[in-house]
Structure 1
Amino acid sequence: MEQIADIITGCASNEAKSQRLLYERYYGYALKIIFRYIYRYEKAVDVANDGFVKLFRNFGKFTCDAPEHLEKTLMGWIRKIMVNTAIDELRRQHMIPEIGGIPEYVWEEQDHSQNAEQQLFYKELIIHVKELPPSYRVVFNMHVIDGYSHQEIATQLGITVGTSKSNLAKARLHLQKKLNKEDIQEAGYAANK
């Protein structure tokens, strides 16, 4: 925990070594966040790097009221910046859906906050979320995965709260159908064994 505090202090002082350590430590985490919004690998890498630039420029604004939760607070702040950076990029591109695969090695990045089963579920969920129409996908990501309220989503995306709620309901329905279909296929496969 002391190492994180030292890195944060260095980043707040604009020290290149601390910035590099933070970047290396949280790059995989940031890239996974970006992939939920932008699926073309090369573009996601660019957006993640843009997010780190914003993060380092605004590091003086980072605060943590509970030192025992320093890393968790930092990761939440990183997530917020990455989500906002991805949404800004989608807005610039007029929310054109990104197409492309996520290289397997990205999933191999260790996220120490999740066990292997959680990481597998997360990977499967993101694959299904990727198939959602763009307007449903963005609202689902923001509300369910990143914890934004419908009011915050409406403000960020320039839509009404009702549209946000409707898109979330449609996204959930789509995902439920997908997951139910998979469960039925898996049950049929197991019965044939």
Structure 2
Amino acid sequence: MIGITQIISGCLKQDARCQKALYEKYYGYALKIVFRYIYHYDKAVDVVNDGYVKLFMKFSTFKCENEEHLEKMFMGWLRQIMVNTAIDALRKNDLMPEIGGIADHVWEEPDRSANADQRVLYKELMIYVKKLPPVYRIVFNMFVIDGFTHHEIAESLCISVGTSKSNLSKARALLQKFINKDSGAIEICSI
């Protein structure tokens, strides 16, 4: 099995074997990212494949000076490409919500170091996030889960920074309402 350094070096040289290894290694990760935006499996798979096409076309722009952080840097770059590709697909469909069920494992936090309670809370939160209107869900996912700034979200979605902040605030309020309705009086203060 070849390491991530060799795979990335091979991809920079457009080596098809390394491109296939990279695709297979991170396909599940990419699909989980896209599923947070696009709920129909077939469409999500298409978006992931489109994202990989973009990734391989732009691979020469990927830079990482510190080899010990190479995989983290690559995964962040891959995440950004997949989120942007999903948003482009949603924009083509006027941000209409996707219809279809998503398996619960898709919403699980990829961080395996989290304890069981944290994973359960994350999974429960994702159930509520799926109920949000599409624009609120997208801004919430981008800001809270994917770590984009309001400026980056505004640029990506062609909205103002104020609209991004407003949509996040409304998403939080709706999530609070969903949770309060189901469980009594839990508060989401610092999501």
Q: TM-score, normalised by structure 1?
A: 0.86
- Name the one with the larger helix percent: 1
Between the two proteins, what is the percent identity of the paired residues?
60
Quote the offset at 1:105 in angstroms. Answer: 6.1
Quote the offset at 1:102 in angstroms. Answer: 1.2
Equivalent AA in structure 2 for residue 62 of structure 1? F
Partner residue in 2 for 1:172: 172
> Distance in 2 between the 1:130 and 1:66 partners?
37
> Distance in 1 between the 2:170 and 2:3 partners?
44
Q: TM-score, normalised by structure 2?
A: 0.87
Matched, 1:100 2:124: no
CA-atom RMSD, angstroms? 2.3
Matched, 1:133 2:150: no
User: 1:107–1:148: structure 2 CA closer, same or farther, 3 Å change rule?
Assistant: closer
Q: Residue 28 of structure 1 contacts residue 106 of structure 1 at CA under 8 Å; is this kept in 2? A: no
Q: Residue 107 of structure 2 contacts residue 126 of structure 2 at CA under 8 Å; is this kept in 1? A: no
Partner residue in 2 for 1:29: 29
Partner residue in 2 for 1:42: 42
Q: Residue 36 of structure 1 contacts residue 141 of structure 1 at CA under 8 Å; is this kept in 2? A: yes
Quote the offset at 1:127 in angstroms. Answer: 2.2
User: 1:41–1:18: structure 2 CA closer, same or farther, 3 Å change rule?
Assistant: same
Secondary structure at 2:184's aligned position in 1? Answer: helix
Select between 97-106 and 64-73 the one with higher mean Cα deviation: 97-106
Quote the offset at 1:128 in angstroms. Answer: 1.6
Quote the offset at 1:157 in angstroms. Answer: 1.1
> Distance in 1 between the 2:28 and 2:119 partners?
13
User: 1:68–1:149: structure 2 CA closer, same or farther, 3 Å change rule?
Assistant: same
Ranges in structure 2 where 5+ consecutive residues have no aligned partner: 186-191
Ranges in structure 1 where 5+ consecutive residues have no aligned partner: 186-193
Q: Residue 37 of structure 2 contacts residue 87 of structure 2 at CA under 8 Å; is this kept in 1? A: yes
User: 1:121–1:11: structure 2 CA closer, same or farther, 3 Å change rule?
Assistant: farther
Equivalent AA in structure 1 for residue 156 of structure 2? Q
Query: How many pairs are equivalent?
Result: 184
Q: Residue 36 of structure 2 contacts residue 107 of structure 2 at CA under 8 Å; is this kept in 1? A: no
Secondary structure at 2:3's aligned position in 1? Answer: helix
